[in-house]
Structure 1
Amino acid sequence: MAHDSYSQEFTSASEKETTQIAKDFADILQMGDVVALKGELGSGKTFFVKKVAEELGFDGYVSSPTFTILNIYEASPYLYHFDFYRLKNIEEIEKIGFPDLLMEDGIFFIEWPEKAEELLHEKYFEIRIDIVNGTHRKISIKKITGNEDALCRN
């Protein structure tokens, strides 16, 4: 990963502005990157993934994997979109094969990553989307480093 140091904060007043932030972020992603998405229900996490997927060449339907746990989008590279909202603990996350899937070629987006932080790569992006009001969002993107005990291939 060439982008070991990265931190940005944005204020978005519309879906159009959030789309541009997501597309710009997609342009720096590399094979194997992991992105932990944080924010309350309805903050726009899946919308953000949708816009990244579009920028990476996926033109199909992007939906929240709340009930399926994982959606895979045939973008370039493949995009793995996890949602751990319904999973109770680290054992359930391991049971679905999450650690093994991180070894696949692709980019990995994880909604509700708090339940799996000990399994995340040594280096990953954290995106926090906070609702300011209506369509206004505060979007923070930063690179997290230092989890040397994690399942890391980078």
Structure 2
Amino acid sequence: MQEFTLPGTAYLEAAAGALIKAAGNRKIWLFDAPMGAGKTTLIQAVCKALRLQGAFSSPTYSIVNEYHGPGGQAAYHMDLYRLKGLDEALDIGIEEYLYSGAYCFIEWPGLIEPLLPDGCFRIKMTIESDSERKILFL
């Protein structure tokens, strides 16, 4: 397990770089954090660092946002908070996203735990203060 302290938003670029390096070739990233911890903000920084294009926003209501990058690279940003059960995840085609080979950045992944392949990149964020976050990843 590695740890990164994010003292404020000025360090998002550094945090994104550290996560990309630590993830290696893993494309499914799971974000475990309380509401308001900055999951979406961190994912936006990672997407920018990966040179993805799109209007990076929270997929709270759309459930899935799709972004594109160099060479036709795709990435999916999912917010599963509003889903009520595994059946709803299957209805949106979650397995197609997970096995697409594209980046999948997933907020609130607990619901789909039984569907996740081995080797996902897990990120846990905790709120240390109004501006500081601790990021643990493995």
| TM-score, structure 2 normalization | 0.90
Corresponding pairs, count: 136
Rounded to whole Å, the distance in 1 between the matches of 2:101 and 2:87 is 24
1:115 aligns with 2:111: yes
Alignment partner of 2:91 out of 65, 78, 95:
95
Give every structure 1 segment of 4 or more consecutive aligned residues whose post-TM-superposition deviation is greater than 4 Å: 28-32
State the shift of 1:101 in Å: 1.9
Aligned identity (percent) is 32
CA RMSD in angstroms, aligned pairs only: 1.6
Unpaired runs of 5+ in structure 1? 1-6, 143-154
Residue range with higher mean Cα deviation, 64-73 or 24-33: 24-33
Contact 2:27 2:101 in 1 (8 A): no
What amino acid maps onto 1:123 in structure 2?
G
Q: Name the residue aligned to 1:15.
A: 9
| TM-score, structure 1 normalization | 0.81
* Greater helix proportion: 2
Unpaired runs of 5+ in structure 2? none
Q: Greater RCO between the two (CA within 8 Å, min separation 6)?
A: 2
Alignment partner of 1:135 out of 126, 131, 134:
131
Q: Name the residue aligned to 1:124.
A: 120
